[in-house]
Amino acid sequence: MSPRSDPEFFDAKYRADPDPWNFDTDWYEIRKRTLLLAMLPHPRFRSALEPGCANGHITTELARRCDRVTATDIAPRAVELTGIRCRDQPNVEIREWGLGRMWHWENIFDLVLLSEVVYYLPADALTLAIEDMASHLRPRTTVVLSHWRHTEKDHHLDGDEATGIALAAFPHRCVARYLDADVRIEVVTTNP
Ligand SMILES: C[S@@+](CC[C@H](N)C(=O)[O-])C[C@H]1O[C@@H](n2cnc3c(N)ncnc32)[C@H](O)[C@@H]1O
């Protein structure tokens, strides 16, 4: 297995198994979701962007804390599965879109959640994607980075490398940080 960024790879995973990372039952996944949601600095947000929404576990939780959630994935089947999970949450919009593609939104988000997604981009592409993202965000937007710290064959970078590259790509202020052997979560705000 080599590092992957192509939608076909991820789509095939969801077509073979609707829960390919065991989000339903794996304690790492359940614990990570709980941690990152608890670390959000405000009880409510106006508008969240969640690239890499997978099958919508985090999306459905965000929708309870945000007036509006834009959830995206590069895998068409993941988009469908998130739609099924969030079918009773009309404040969720789901789109087939990938971090690193042309940005479609201007100054509308006050929360961006990047969870287990930035290490699917090679370093140069990741820097460009985050620079572009930051150029379209207002000052003091909350950005969350949450990543598995171990090396995986299909990742371009490990979690610490990817988090470091992403944070170096935009001016920010640290709000909260969590680190253990498995996961690193950084909550920052964009600077003026
Ligand atoms: C390991 S899952 C993470 C799911 C969820 N965000 C979480 O933290 O539990 C990675 C997801 O990111 C998607 N993905 C990969 N590269 C992406 C990109 N450049 N933009 C958006 N989604 C991407 C994959 O299709 C997959 O659904």
Can you tell me the distance from the alpha carbon of 64 to that of 40, in angstroms, rounded to the nearest whole number? 13
pLDDT at 192 over 80: no
pLDDT, one tens digit per residue, over 137-155 is 999 999 999 999 998 888 8
pLDDT, one tens digit per residue, over 94-130 is 999 999 999 999 889 999 999 999 999 999 999 999 9
Please indicate, yes or no, if residue 176 is contained in any of the structural domains.
yes
Report the pLDDT value the prediction gives residue 153, as an integer from 0 to 100: 86
Please indicate, yes or no, if residue 25 is contained in any of the structural domains.
yes
Please indicate, yes or no, if residue 1 is contained in any of the structural domains.
no
Please indicate, yes or no, if residue 172 is contained in any of the structural domains.
yes
Please indicate, yes or no, if residue 2 is contained in any of the structural domains.
no
Domain count for the chain, please give it.
Answer: 1
pLDDT, one tens digit per residue, over 3-26 is 888 999 999 999 999 999 999 999
Please indicate, yes or no, if residue 41 is contained in any of the structural domains.
yes
Which of 5, 74, 94, 153 best tests ligand 1's pocket when mutated (most atoms within 8 Å of CB)?
74
Instruction: Let me know: does 42 contact 67? Beta carbons within 8 Å.
Output: no
Burial class (CB in 10 A: 0-12, 13-18, 19+), 14: buried
Q: Tell me which residue range forms the domain holding 36.
A: 7-190
Q: What distance in angstroms lies between residue 152's CA and the mean position of ligand 1's atoms? A: 14
CATH number, domain of 62, equals: 3.40.50.150
